[in-house]
Amino acid sequence: MGQVKALAMFSGGLDSLLAIKLIQKQGIEVEALNFSGFFCFCKAGSGVADSAKRLGVKLRTVEVDERYLRMLRNPKHGYGRHMNPCVDCKIFMLKEAKKYAREIGASFVFTGEVLDERPMSQHYPALRVIEQESGLKGRLLRPLSARLLPATIVQKKGVIDGAKLMAIRGRSRKPQIALAREFGVTSYPSPAGGCLLTEAEFARRLRDLFQHRKRCSVVDVALLRLGRHFRLGENKIIVGRNEKENKALVAGKAGSDYVFEAPDIAGPITLLQGRKTKKAIAVAAGLTAFYSDAKTETVTVCYGGEKQDKTTTAKRLNKEEVERLRI
């Protein structure tokens, strides 16, 4: 028999890092799967890759696609406080993990989940639902809480020694920090931050997008992370806050979007989405003028699609008008 292989769901956080350590200590080869996308803002990118390298595990990163958005519009198990479909999100990712586990010949899948650490998706009934609906019944191991949960198939067969796994429960991080010291783990991210879908401002923007667009892409949702957002009927207007966002807005614009900019004056790039009515153009130009460094009440603004070859004299909106439009 060859060496047993397992697939880890790896966020790059301390819990998933410790889960990998626990499985590796039992002589099992581990590969890691990380999901990245518009909803991640603290544990994605090179930090995950660096952690995987230190652990000596092969890492595969999967960018979420429109299938995730379809789930997000109507999650079977509902949302948390904002637009976070935590249970459905876990099921979605674990279904993908099951496919990849089969591809690489992994005997089981494991996560860094801790019983009762998160109120929506890590209480006992939710853990059982996730295991069942992901198609991983009996093959989904949670090493940090395994001694508090029913034994998996690999435990029953002796592939994993359940007595060497943990019985961590609750929201305190002290047991994990103590285990990290035991393993000599000194580099790991703080638990602050996490999923943008739990953030009130991002959730408002996403809810607005779903209400006004029957179809949207991952790029549309990714733009919600950038700038200031305004709604004028069926028009969406996004105003950049700094040079980095200005460049990202231009890079992320659709072919039908208009770009607005006040030439020779420091200020934002503004995107106008939707029908290009006179009113919509005037409001987008007025917002561009409002957030520019211009000191005058009227500002010359250039705008257009591929080229900003049209000009208009825009009247700066006042603060009350701006706030009425803000999403």
Secondary structure (3-state) at 183: helix
Count Cβ atoms within 10 A of the Cβ of residue 202 and give its class: 0-12 exposed, 13-18 middle, 19 or more buried: buried
Which of 152, 183, 214 marks a domain boundary? 183
Q: Using alpha carbons, list the distances in angstroms from residue 31 to 21, 64, 109, 155, 263.
A: 12, 19, 10, 19, 51
Which helix H or strand E contains 259, and what residues bound it?
Answer: strand 258-261
179/281 same-domain check: no
286/175 same-domain check: no
Which helix H or strand E contains 290, and what residues bound it?
Answer: helix 278-290
Q: 192 falls in which pLDDT band (50, 70, 90)?
A: low
245/169 same-domain check: no
Rounded CA-CA distance 37/35 in Å is 7
164/231 same-domain check: no
Q: Does residue 213 sit within a domain?
A: no
Q: Does residue 19 sit within a domain?
A: yes
31/174 same-domain check: yes
Q: In the prediction, which pLDDT does 44 show?
A: 43
163/237 same-domain check: no
Q: Does residue 212 sit within a domain?
A: no
Please count the structural domains in the chain. 2
Residue 250, domain extent = 226-325
Q: Does residue 208 sit within a domain?
A: no
Q: Does residue 278 sit within a domain?
A: yes
Q: In the prediction, which pLDDT does 43 show?
A: 43
Q: Lowest mean pLDDT: which of 222-226, 277-281, 283-287? A: 222-226
17/128 same-domain check: yes
Q: In the prediction, which pLDDT does 40 show?
A: 66
Q: What is the DSSP letter of 61?
A: E
Q: Does residue 46 sit within a domain?
A: yes
What are the DSSP calls for 191-237, one per residue?
Answer: S---BGGGSHHHHHHHHHHHHH-SS--HHHHHGGGSSEEEEETTEEE
Whether residue 94 is predicted with pLDDT greater than 50 in this model: the reply is yes
Q: Enter the tokens of residue 269.
A: 């790039």
Rounded CA-CA distance 87/130 in Å is 7
Rounded CA-CA distance 83/324 in Å is 23
232/178 same-domain check: no
34/158 same-domain check: yes
Q: 164 falls in which pLDDT band (50, 70, 90)?
A: very high
Q: Does residue 313 sit within a domain?
A: yes
145/242 same-domain check: no
Compute the average pLDDT of residues 255-268.
95
Q: In the prediction, which pLDDT does 172 show?
A: 95
Whether residue 42 is predicted with pLDDT greater than 70 in this model: the reply is no
> CA gyration radius for the chain?
24
Q: In the prediction, which pLDDT does 39 show?
A: 74
What CATH number did the domain enclosing 125 receive?
3.40.50.620
What are the DSSP calls for 136-169, one per residue?
Answer: -TTTEE-TTTGGGSPPPHHHHTTSS-GGGS---B
Rounded CA-CA distance 289/243 in Å is 16
Rounded CA-CA distance 236/275 in Å is 10
Q: In the prediction, which pLDDT does 193 show?
A: 55
142/44 same-domain check: yes
Which of 130, 160, 183 marks a domain boundary? 183
Which of 183, 212, 245 marks a domain boundary? 183
Compute the average pLDDT of residues 124-131.
98
Instruction: Tell me the pTM.
Output: 0.90
Q: Does residue 220 sit within a domain?
A: no
Beta carbons within 8 Å of 123's beta carbon, 6+ residues apart: 115, 116
Compute the average pLDDT of residues 85-108.
97
238/157 same-domain check: no
